[in-house]
Amino acid sequence: MKSETKSKALYDRAVKLIPGGVNSPVRACRSVGRNPIFIDRAQGCRIFDADGNEFIDFVGSWGPMMLGHRHGSVMAAIEKVLERGVSFGAPVDLEVEMAEMICNAVSSVEMVRMVNSGTEATMSAIRAARAYTGRDVLVKFDGCYHGHADTLLVAAGSGVATLNIAGSPGVPEATIRHTVSLPYNDIPAFKKLMAEKGKTVAAVIVEPVAGNMGLVPPDPEFLHELRSETQKHQCVLIFDEVMTGFRLAYGGAQALYQISPDLTCFGKIVGGGLPVGAYGGKQEIMAQIAPEGPVYQAGTLSGNPLAMAAGLATLKELQQPGFYESVEEKSDRLSSGILRIAERIGIPLSVNRVGSMMSIFFTDRVVKNFEDAKTSNLEVFSAYYNKMLEKGIYLPPSQFEALFVSSAHEIADIDLFLAAAEAVLPELIK
């Protein structure tokens, strides 16, 4: 057994002062029946806890660490900007460079506003869409998670799914009266809703590849229907690419599936591991944002030089020839390896992967939506999580999250994961 003395002592102190001992719920590890381990430091794809235990990290800070931890270029950019200051609450050159980089990378984005988290990005994009259309109704999909803004806490994934929270107390009924949640990948349900209510819909928001009910790929036809129906009814299509942006391709999921939304939300990778978010899209929608237009949205730390420098350095690395191909090769080795082992030992599981995002669901169903994901055996997942951790593999502690492969993972690290799985999976069917 790995020692957890120091993590335990930190948790005992934390739990007295921080709700659940954590600053974001999933990391509390409650759904896998244990206390969290506290992290001391990380390097590349390795993460080290307060007790000195070493793990191969497949969480990557829930997505931002596409280059692994403490990548040389990112560290150098942070060190360089520290000589100038960390926040001025005033415009800086680096945010112009960031806006240019995002708009050049993602062709649907003509104007962009930096914020400080994915939650801020989605709530601001929705406000812009409602103002632009003069309508209120918001359509989302079950199991998609778009942050913790009131309007979006309906049938949400991520921590809401992990903790099995039906709806959050504190969210007034009136706030979610205009939110409709439909099954993901269900074209008939979406077309029916649009036929009945399309003229009242301000926006349709979707994770183009869902990562918050575990990883669930879209039926490409589903995304095409979202685009054509929103065009037909003149509502705003918002892609939440907080996780997928710059990860599945340099141009995000929209480049991969060749669909152009009206607005896109970003986060995670664009901050290189520092707190960040961004939303952008069509000029005529974004031009409504204050001070160019009347739609109010603001932030003291928005576009701060520290986050911009880390993000810019990260995005520049992603442009290296062969970057995505190399991560794809390692991710494919991981998913096909797991499937091979599972087939050999006869354990029912389903593996979903798109690029460097992946989930293993302990169910015999093909997982196409939240209902399928919820058929997973959570006890088996919990045992799997804990046994893998004991073998030095650090995974998201929830069936309803995705794991992330970074460029810092070597083939040998992938093979260490597979060796651990080879030992752990048979124990799960005993």
Q: Which residues are designated catalytic?
A: 145, 240, 268
| CB 243, CB 73: distance < 8 Å | no
| CB 55, CB 392: distance < 8 Å | yes
Min CB(398)–ligand HOZ separation in Å: 8
Looking at the DSSP assignment, which residues form a beta bridge with residue 139?
180, 204
- Sequence-distant (6+) residues with CB within 8 A of 22 are 14, 28, 36
Min CB(17)–ligand HOZ separation in Å: 17
What torsion, rounded to 10 degrees, do the Cα atoms 116, 122, 128, 133 define?
A: 180
Min CB(262)–ligand HOZ separation in Å: 24
Name the residue nearer to ligand HOZ (CB basis): 4 or 207: 207
Min CB(206)–ligand HOZ separation in Å: 16
List contacts with ligand HOZ (CB under 6 A): 24-27, 62, 158-159, 212, 401
- Sequence-distant (6+) residues with CB within 8 A of 117 are 147, 267, 275, 276, 277
Name the residue nearer to ligand HOZ (CB basis): 27 or 374: 27
In whole angstroms, how far apart are CA 86 and each of 56, 237, 277, 283?
31, 35, 17, 30
Token pair for residue 157?
A: 């994934």
β pairing state of 179-182 and 137-141: parallel
Name the residue nearer to ligand HOZ (CB basis): 62 or 246: 62
Min CB(106)–ligand HOZ separation in Å: 21
Name the residue nearer to ligand HOZ (CB basis): 130 or 374: 374
Name the residue nearer to ligand HOZ (CB basis): 160 or 318: 160
Task: Pick the closest to residue 247 from 263, 262, 267 (CA basis).
Answer: 267
